[in-house]
């Protein structure tokens, strides 16, 4: 069994907090599978959801990079 570093534990804790507050939280790979990225204006990215071509925004944080809180525009 692998022992997690302090950084890994902090990232997992932060992920859990985001999930509790916003529901779905995505990694970069997950977000790019689900959305087409149009432009960034930190802490937001303008996207189009691939499943139904709906435009909107996602919030993101720098490190660790997670995307969350999709809002249709």
Q: In this structure, are residues 37 and 48 in contact, taking their beta carbons and an 8 Å threshold?
A: no
Decide if 28 is inside a domain: yes
Decide if 30 is inside a domain: yes
Give me the pLDDT at residue 1, please: 81
Number of separate domains in the chain: 1
Rounded Cα–Cα distance for residues 54 and 12 (Å): 30
Decide if 1 is inside a domain: no
Give me the pLDDT at residue 28, please: 96
Give me the pLDDT at residue 2, please: 84
Q: Which residue range forms the structural domain that includes residue 15?
A: 6-72
Decide if 14 is inside a domain: yes
Decide if 46 is inside a domain: yes
Q: What is the pTM of this model?
A: 0.90
Q: CA separation (Å) from 6 to 1, 13, 40?
A: 16, 10, 30
Helix (H), strand (E) at residue 16: helix 6-22
Rounded Cα–Cα distance for residues 8 and 31 (Å): 20
Q: In this structure, are residues 3 and 44 in contact, taking their beta carbons and an 8 Å threshold?
A: no
Q: What residues in the chain have per-residue pLDDT under 50?
A: none
């Amino acid at each position: 069994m692998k022992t997690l570093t302090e950084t890994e534990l902090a990232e997992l804790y932060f992920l859990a907090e985001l999930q509790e507050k916003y529901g779905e939280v995505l990694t970069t790979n997950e977000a790019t599978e689900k959305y087409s990225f149009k432009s960034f204006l930190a802490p937001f990215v303008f996207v189009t959801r691939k499943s139904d071509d709906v435009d909107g925004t996602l919030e993101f944080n720098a490190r660790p990079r997670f995307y969350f809180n999709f809002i249709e525009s």
